[in-house]
Structure formats: C-alpha cells, structure tokens
Structure 1
C-alpha cells in the first residue's frame, strides 16, 4: 500500500472529544517523511487519556510540568515521551487549547517502506523476516516509534505540517473497546474503557 499526501487530517479533527478522536484515528495512516522516504503505518490500536480527571494521564489533577506542557497546547501537536529510559511513545494532543488530553497510538500495521521498518526493528530486509518478526514490527507503542523513527525530537511537532502527520483512509472494520494496558497504578482509572482497536488485526498489541 502506497500512501499519498492528499487527505491529511486537519486541526478540527483533533480539536474534539478525546474518546471520539481515539476511535476515529483507527484505520488512519500515520506518516513520517524523513531522509526522502515516506514511512507509514495504519493505526490499529489507540488509548484515550482524559487529562485532569484521569489518574493514568500525565496531566492528572492539572499537573503542569515541562514534560507535559505540550498537552496544554493546541490540538494536533505530537506528545512524545520516553518510558523505562529507552522506549518512546507517540501521542496526539486533542481537545481545546488548555485542556490537557491526548491519544496514545499503541499499534500500527506497516503499509509503506517496509524494508526501512524492518531494518529499524530487526536489521533485516522485510523479505527476510520470520512470521513472528513481521507480527512484532509495530504492535506496541515503543515498537512503532522505533520503526517509524519517532523520538523526543518530534515532541511538539505540528501534525498539520508536512513532516509527521496522519492521513484519512476510508475502510470498514469493527472496533473493540477494552481497558487500557499497563496502568495498574492508576486506581479506578485502570478500569476506564478507553482502549480501542480494530477487530482481528494481527498487529494489535494485546487482544
């Protein structure tokens, strides 16, 4: 599948209810243009984070540190942070400016520049990957950032520009809703049904 920069999502798409945006990002195409290449993947799994009322969100209770300042900015900015000192996570800022909410992109299905993606993840060409390696290319937030060369330098990137962006993509599928993953510390928020994924897609991180 080759993506074309014809239907880039605009600011209005992101400037809405976070849960709605998280669902509607499914099936869309995340593109990173770098070194003359268009590395891309279809979004197959997301999680919504609801800011000041959400104990799993970095901005819970109105927390405003240099790390989370981006979340208070305009919708359509990228929020990239690092976990365990080694894995990057890519988020899309949503809502109106001043409301610190975002959507975590949890998994992608690779669709473009497959050899680049394979080399970033496993130092191999795509045709040389095992079935297990193919499944594990981008089926997690850290993996997809590695595959698409997304790191802290892209924190605050405007997704309405031409470097890192998301394109519309018309496709029919069923959406599965579940609790979010890896946030057992967040008390009642760990049970919020704010994780969404495309049913039967093999690149979803956990089914």
Structure 2
C-alpha cells in the first residue's frame, strides 16, 4: 500500500485531514518490531480560531519543532507525565495545525502490542482505544517527536478504503474545557461509527 505523501499533510484544512485519516493505516518499526493498525478516531487542531493550540505553539526545542516545519512530521508530548499523545503536523511551516490520532484498530504485531501494554489481551479495546494506549502499544515516546512520516520508523499508508459519511461520527473534542467554550464545542473529533476500538471518552 502506498505511503501517504507529504502533500496529504500540507493541505490547509486540518479538519478535512482529520476526517480523511479515518481508515488509513499507521505503522511503527522499532528495534525490528513492526506494529500498526487502522485509524478509527482523530481530532483536528488549528492555529486559527482554536484557543487550545496556543500552548502548543509556544513550545520550542525538539518536541515542538514539528509545529514549525511543513506538515508531515510527528508532534509528540506527554500529559500527566505519563501518556504520550501522537499528533501529526499539518499545513505549512508558518501555519501550524495538527491532527491527534486518538484510537486505532490493531492489525499488525498484536502480540508485541499486548506485551507493551502489560499483557492486555489483543482483542481488548483497552489495547489501543485511546491516545495514550495506542502510543504505548506502538512503542512511541516523545523522543520520536519531529520524526518524518516518510521514513522507516513511523509512517501512514493509504489502503484505498473509502469511509462513507453515514459511518462517521463528528463531535466536540475531549478535555478542552480549559480552552474556552468555542474551542470546547468545535465538532472536530471524528470516529468510525460502531467501532469497538474508538476511545470511551465522552
């Protein structure tokens, strides 16, 4: 399957990119161990009209570098000093937007992912149904922030799958009350309807 090209990520609308990522496959290859799955949940973040992005845009150094380069790099950071969140930079270098990958359906390297998750059964949604869970399952840490998605460590592939609109749930993003009512109510979270692998967060 073809790797998603840089132009896919460098489009100006992160909301459309977040929607388009549903059904795509994401892979990691770390220490020779290949793991991956089908993206079933995403969230979009914009540098314009989205107060939740302001904190991120102040970040510099390795972790924040991806936000200030052309789209198509991984932007990784930790919350609660525990969970790594897997974001993809989009748009142009001077117009930093991101898409958060919130959940995947695990397809490749299930035993490896289960071991990384502490022995959780491979068929359990607790394996990858949440942004902190999927990064642990894929072996992704903040040290990989700014990794180019055209390389051999992290990449996304287009399976050719078409997701029909009736199969997509759009709703407000999770945990953004701190960013104000506008940011908290934007319907920029996308999920595959009836997938057991989407995160349980309301």
Q: With the length of structure 2 as denominator, give the TM-score of the two structures.
A: 0.90
Counterpart CA distance in 2 for 1:79 and 1:192 is: 22
Counterpart for residue 105 of structure 1:
101
The reply to whether residue 82 of structure 1 matches residue 75 of structure 2 is no
Please say if residues 44 and 203 of structure 1, whose CA atoms lie closer than 8 Å, have aligned partners that are also in contact.
yes
Counterpart CA distance in 1 for 2:187 and 2:32 is: 39
Counterpart CA distance in 1 for 2:94 and 2:190 is: 25
Structure-to-structure mapping, 1:1-207, within 5 angstroms:
6-16=1-11, 17-58=13-54, 63=58, 65-66=60-61, 67-123=63-119, 129=121, 134-173=124-163, 174-187=167-180, 188-206=182-200
Counterpart CA distance in 1 for 2:48 and 2:64 is: 12
Identify unmatched segments of 5+ residues in structure 1.
Answer: 1-5
Counterpart CA distance in 1 for 2:156 and 2:69 is: 18
Please say if residues 76 and 144 of structure 2, whose CA atoms lie closer than 8 Å, have aligned partners that are also in contact.
yes
Change (3 A) 1:201 1:92: same
Q: With the length of structure 1 as denominator, give the TM-score of the two structures.
A: 0.88
Summarize deviations over 1:45-64 as a string: whole Å, max 9, x none: 0000002431111457x645
SS of corresponding position for 1:68: helix
Identify unmatched segments of 5+ residues in structure 2.
Answer: none
Counterpart CA distance in 1 for 2:36 and 2:54 is: 27
> How large is the RMSD of aligned CA atoms in angstroms?
1.8
Change (3 A) 1:53 1:147: same
